[in-house]
Amino acid sequence: MAKLTINDVDVAGKKVFMRVDFNVPLDDDLKITDERRIEMALPSIKSVIERGGRLILASHLGRPKGEPNPKFSLAPAAEALSRHVGQAVKLASDTVGPNATELVENLKDGEIVLLENLRFDAREKSGDEAFAAQLAEFADVYCNNAFGTCHREHASMYGVPAAMGGKPKTVGSLVEKEIKYLSGVISTPDRPFVAILGGAKVSDKIKVIENLIGICDHILIGGAMAYTFSLAQGGKVGKSLVEPDKVDLAKELIAKAGDKLVLPVDTHCGDDFNKDCNKQVVAAGEIADEFEGLDIGPKTAAQFADIIKSAKTVVWNGPMGVFEMPPFDEGTKIVAQAIADSEAISIIGGGDSAAAIAQLGFEDSVTHVSTGGGASLAMLEGKSFAAVDVLDEK
């Protein structure tokens, strides 16, 4: 069943509580260095104000540990959003206190109030019901437009819609799109369906691999997690980043997945963690004691690109090597290029994979780039999200 969207609801003259993800990166001068999270929330924000809704926005920013901290104020986000929507966005100095209450009560049609950082109140993360009920009292309609925190049962994510009774509880366009690709496409993929998993730790991706074994045609493994699999096969990994305590688990996954699991055949190594180190390409499992694996090798990159070429659905989560440090970015670049060139439905998990796709200029050549690293991983694990389940069906 599809979820009720904010566009399905008449918002004219109504107060809409919209949970957004304005957890944007700030520099030392508290200037936003990347506004994408704000920009991606704009379609649903504009939809509400252009149809005469009275919009109450709520978000967290950083980790302020449950108390006010000017370093994590949403003031820079309010300023950026004002620019994007062409009107002043009022920033409340609190979340459910007197200032927020006054600004919400005086909201007019088409206006926006942004509540101060939800995590300035410890009750947000604890999912406190009384705090959620206070937030819920502000609004006639709820909208979840914050995919990055959909896997959390925080007060604003779960408690507020749960406290809204029979009032409409909707998804914004951002969450609607994430569910469509990460849940919908993956549950009934066009085949061959290829998953590419990288990053540092097998432990981060265990549940994903276990879930995808039953769904995918191929699972390509890169990044440092490949060295734990290499160790499980009796290979030499030198100084590579490995998880010795996960070797038995890696053996189980190799046995369970069979031919579906495609491991690197060669490795690009260095004798130090910098771009000027001594480098060599060796067969997988043959890394010398003083070297560490920092990227998949050229044969592996070519093999992965070949498998991607014939795919109809591709999911990618995690870089193939140290993509921030040439020349150990080569494997990630070749995989990204292959995905961009393919005709497959391509879904890029959040975090480093999204950063790599953006850095390489391929954002417009893939089908969907997820906005939530942790949330996209949880969805790939096949988890259900209470914060989404609580919303209304169409």
Of 201, 236, 251, 279, which residue is the catalytic one?
Answer: 201
351 is catalytic: yes
Of 3, 19, 37, 246, which residue is the catalytic one?
Answer: 37
201 is catalytic: yes
Is residue 156 within 8 A of residue 124, CB to CB? The reply is yes
**Token pair recorded at residue 391:** 């919303």
Q: Which DSSP helix (H) or strand (E) runs through 300?
A: helix 298-309
Is residue 33 within 8 A of residue 77, CB to CB? The reply is no
Crossing angle of helices 202-213 and 247-257, in 10° steps, is 20
**Token pair recorded at residue 275:** 């771009």
Q: How far is CA 227 from the centre of its chain?
A: 25
Proportion of the chain in helix, strand, coil states, percent, rounded to 5: 40, 20, 40
Is residue 247 within 8 A of residue 231, CB to CB? The reply is yes
Of 159, 297, 351, 372, which residue is the catalytic one?
Answer: 351
374 is catalytic: yes
Is the previous residue joined to 327 through a cis bond, with omega within 30 degrees of 0?
yes
> Residues 127-132: contacts with CB within 8 Å, 24+ apart?
127/153, 127/154, 127/155, 127/158, 127/159, 128/155, 128/159, 129/155, 129/159, 129/163, 131/96, 131/155, 131/159, 132/156, 132/158, 132/159, 132/160, 132/162, 132/163
Give the C-alpha separation, 18 to 287, whole Å: 51
Q: Where are the beta strands (DSSP E) in the chain?
A: 15-20, 54-58, 90-91, 112-114, 141-145, 169-171, 193-197, 218-221, 236-237, 261-262, 266-270, 279-283, 286-287, 292-296, 313-317, 345-348, 368-369
Residues assigned a catalytic role: 37, 201, 351, 374
